[in-house]
Amino acid sequence: MSNAIAPASLVVWGGFAIGFVFGAVANKTNFCTMGAISDVVNMGHWGRVRMWLLAVVVAMVGANLLHYTGQIDLAKTIYHRPTLPWLSLLLGGGLFGVGMTMASGCTAKNLVRLGGGSLRSLVVLAFLAISAYMTLKGLFGQWRASLLDPVSIDLSTPGLGQIVAKLSGLAQPTALLLTVLAISAAALAFTFKDKRFRSNLSNIVGASALGLVIVAGWYLTGHLGYGENPETLETVYFATNTRTLESLSFVAPAAFSLELLLLWTDKSLHATFGIATLVGVFLGSLAYALGTRQFRWEGFASFDDLRTHLIGAVLMGFGGVTALGCTIGQGMSGLSTLAVGSLVAMAGLTGGAVAMMKYQVWRA
């Protein structure tokens, strides 16, 4: 029994530590995907986009090196499926983008703000978790499963590395390395061509740290948490909700956290990697806010503010589950695997956010 418990405990406590680092760094550097998009749309400033790109490059290089050396198998992630539910990814991503704009930030940003004293974020996260749970197992889930998910295409090559291998005739490992090298070189050239970004050591170190957090998640769940269950003699991934390797993602874990709290006495439910990272992000941000004396209580400015944030939270819960991830789940973890589906989801997410931002400006 002790051998069965040890890997799960390692994954859960490791996930908490990873989340704690993410929360503290994200608070310090003001890391926010929605904020990055908003900076470009409203001010033409690309600084936070460059920071996000650097984090994704570090995550992508690290994850694929682990895959190339046989430490983990990214082909088993939820992002590499032979069936591409393009409508769910595109529409879910779009609704999440609209929702996060209305709710003043994505799930991760609201967790970070909650650590800084935002009661507004607490309300957003509560309604997001309810909506996400309804999309996983409730009314919204029936709509998703019957109307959206069946609209899909068969995809024998769900990863960019596999596509390059098929088109070029190269062996898959070689094609994967070349793909990672080409994307990394292009992204880094764009990222570091800006003098202001090059001189901002805090953002460079912060972005690199956030990328390494994604890599650590893959290694923890895909290598250290992968082994034989002595009770069933099956090889399993311990303490993950998807029953396969995971890295950071926050929408579905918010729903599972709510389920665990509501059904605490149900002995079939346990803390998982996703739940632990979610708690870790909040506490990491809280520790940074208290340590730097930046903790401030914050509430809603008006009834209209409350209404807008609640609608945004519901859209994020539905969209995040439908698109298989949020700005972190698809925008960092998913993209680090070079999954085609993650590109589709991020296209929808970015499009939804930009459309909502432009509408807000027009309405104002």
Look at residue 155 in the predicted model and tell me its pLDDT. 87
Which string of b and e fits 285-322 if b means at least 16 CB within 10 Å? bbebbeeeeeeeeeebeeeeeeebbbebbbbbbbbbbb
Look at residue 2 in the predicted model and tell me its pLDDT. 45
> From CA 254, how far away is CA 322, in angstroms rounded?
14
> From CA 251, how far away is CA 318, in angstroms rounded?
9
- Identify how many contiguous H helices and E strands the chain contains and give both numbers: 16, 4
Decide if 225 contacts 240 (C-beta within 8 A).
Answer: yes
Give 258-262's long-range contacts (Cβ < 8 A, gap of 24+): 258/126, 258/129, 258/130, 258/133, 259/133
In tens digits, the chain (364 residues) has pLDDT values of 344 458 999 999 999 999 999 999 999 999 999 999 999 999 999 999 999 999 999 999 999 999 999 999 999 999 999 999 999 999 999 999 999 999 999 999 999 999 999 999 999 999 999 999 999 999 999 999 999 999 999 988 899 999 999 999 999 999 999 999 999 999 999 999 999 999 999 999 999 999 999 999 999 999 999 998 877 778 999 999 999 999 999 999 999 999 999 999 999 999 999 999 999 999 999 999 999 999 999 999 999 999 999 999 999 999 999 999 999 999 999 999 999 999 999 999 999 999 999 999 998 8
* R_g of the chain computed on alpha carbons: 20
- Cα-Cα end-to-end distance for the chain: 61
> From CA 240, how far away is CA 225, in angstroms rounded?
9
Token duo for residue 223: 């290598």
Look at residue 310 in the predicted model and tell me its pLDDT. 98
DSSP codes joined into one string, 46-94: -HHHHHHHHHHHHHHHHHHHHHHTTS--GGGSTT--SEE-HHHHHHHHH
Look at residue 5 in the predicted model and tell me its pLDDT. 54
